[in-house]
Structure 1
Amino acid sequence: MTTPTAKRWEIVDLIANRTVTAGEYKPSIKDYLSELTVKPLTGIPVALAVLYAFWSIFSSFAGALVTDGFMVKLFDNYWLPWIQNVWPNPDSVLYFLFVGDPLADNCFEAFGMLTSGLFVSIGVVLPAIFIFYLMMTILEDSGYLPRLAVLMDGLFHKIGLHGYAIVPAILGLGCNVPAVTATRNLETKKQRFIMMVLLAVFIPCGAQLGIMLDVIPETVGWVMLYLIIGFCLFGFILGKLIPGGNPEILIDIPPYRRPALQNICKKLWVKTKGFFINAIPFVLLGILFVNVLYLLGVIQALADLFAPLFVTWFGVPKETVGPLIAAFLRKDLAVAQLSTIAMTPYQMITAVVLISIYFPCVATFVVMLKEGVKELAAAVGVLAVIVFLYGGLIHLIGILLGVA
Structure 2
Amino acid sequence: MPVTALTADERWDLVDLVVGEVVSTGTVRRTLADALGDLTVKPLTGFPVALAVLYAFWSVFSSFAGDLVTDGFMIGFFDGFWLPWLQNVWPDPQSLLYFVFVGDPSAETCFDAFGVLTSGLFVSIGVVLPAVFIFYLTMTLLEDSGYLPRLAVLADTFLHKIGLHGYAIVPTILGLGCNVPAVTATRVLETGKQRFMMMTLLAIFIPCGAQLGIMLSVIPDLVGWVMLYLIVGFAVFGFVLNRVVPGENPEILIDIPPYRWPVRENVLKKLYNRTRGYLKEAVPFVLFGILLVNVLYLAGVIGAVAGALAPLFVTWFGVPAETVGPLIAAFLRKDLAVAQLSTIAMTPYQMITSVVLISIYFPCVATFVVMIREGWKQLLAAVAVLMVVVVLYGGAIHGIGILLGVA
Q: Shorter-normalised TM-score: what interval?
A: over 0.9
Query: Per-residue displacement from partner, 1:268-293 (whole Å, max 9, x unpaired)?
Result: 00000101110000000000000000
Q: How does 1:157-168 map to 2 (within 5 A)?
A: 157-168=160-171
Over the aligned positions, Cα root-mean-square deviation in angstroms equals: 1.9
- Residue segments in structure 1 that go unaligned for 5+ positions in a row: 7-11
| Distance in 1 (alpha carbons) for counterparts of 2:209 and 2:17 | 55
| Distance in 1 (alpha carbons) for counterparts of 2:25 and 2:197 | 47
Equivalence for 2:186: 183
Q: CA distance change for structure 1 residues 18 and 234 in 2, over 3 Å: closer, same or farther?
A: same
Query: 1:294 is matched by which residue type in structure 2?
Result: Y
Query: 1:106 is matched by which residue type in structure 2?
Result: T
| Distance in 2 (alpha carbons) for counterparts of 1:4 and 1:398 | 71
Displacement of 1:25 in angstroms is 2.5
Equivalence for 2:108: 105
Please point out which of 320, 324, 327 is paired with 1:324. Answer: 327
Determine helix, strand or coil for the equivalent of 2:29. coil
Equivalence for 1:125: 128
- Residue segments in structure 2 that go unaligned for 5+ positions in a row: 7-14
Please point out which of 384, 388, 398 is paired with 1:381. Answer: 384
Displacement of 1:5 in angstroms is 12
Query: Per-residue displacement from partner, 1:333-359 (whole Å, max 9, x unpaired)?
Result: 000000000000000000000000011
Please point out which of 135, 140, 150 is paired with 1:147. Answer: 150
Q: CA distance change for structure 1 residues 16 and 260 in 2, over 3 Å: closer, same or farther?
A: farther
Equivalence for 2:272: 269
Displacement of 1:13 in angstroms is 9.3
Displacement of 1:251 in angstroms is 1.2
Query: 1:198 is matched by which residue type in structure 2?
Result: L
Query: 1:58 is matched by which residue type in structure 2?
Result: F
| Distance in 2 (alpha carbons) for counterparts of 1:373 and 1:398 | 37
Query: 1:125 is matched by which residue type in structure 2?
Result: V
| Distance in 1 (alpha carbons) for counterparts of 2:89 and 2:135 | 36
Equivalence for 1:33: 36
1:88 aligns with 2:91: yes
Determine helix, strand or coil for the equivalent of 1:279. helix
| Distance in 2 (alpha carbons) for counterparts of 1:28 and 1:59 | 34
Determine helix, strand or coil for the equivalent of 1:27. coil
Please point out which of 170, 174, 177 is paired with 1:171. Answer: 174
Q: CA distance change for structure 1 residues 5 and 172 in 2, over 3 Å: closer, same or farther?
A: farther
1:358 aligns with 2:361: yes
Query: 2:348 is matched by which residue type in structure 1?
Result: P
Q: CA distance change for structure 1 residues 54 and 244 in 2, over 3 Å: closer, same or farther?
A: same
1:55 aligns with 2:53: no
Equivalent pairs, count: 402
1:338 aligns with 2:333: no
| Distance in 2 (alpha carbons) for counterparts of 1:157 and 1:19 | 39
Displacement of 1:24 in angstroms is 2.5
Query: 2:82 is matched by which residue type in structure 1?
Result: W
Displacement of 1:243 in angstroms is 1.2
Determine helix, strand or coil for the equivalent of 2:257. coil
Query: Per-residue displacement from partner, 1:247-276 (whole Å, max 9, x unpaired)?
Result: 000111110000011100000000001011
Please point out which of 353, 367, 370 is paired with 1:367. Answer: 370
1:242 aligns with 2:245: yes
Displacement of 1:244 in angstroms is 1.0
With the length of structure 2 as denominator, give the TM-score of the two structures: 0.96
Equivalence for 2:312: 309
Equivalence for 2:11: none
Equivalence for 1:138: 141
Query: 1:237 is matched by which residue type in structure 2?
Result: V
Determine helix, strand or coil for the equivalent of 1:375. helix
| Distance in 1 (alpha carbons) for counterparts of 2:18 and 2:77 | 67
Determine helix, strand or coil for the equivalent of 1:254. coil
Equivalence for 2:255: 252
Displacement of 1:26 in angstroms is 2.7
| Distance in 1 (alpha carbons) for counterparts of 2:200 and 2:107 | 39
Equivalence for 1:289: 292
Equivalence for 1:9: none
| Distance in 1 (alpha carbons) for counterparts of 2:62 and 2:245 | 37
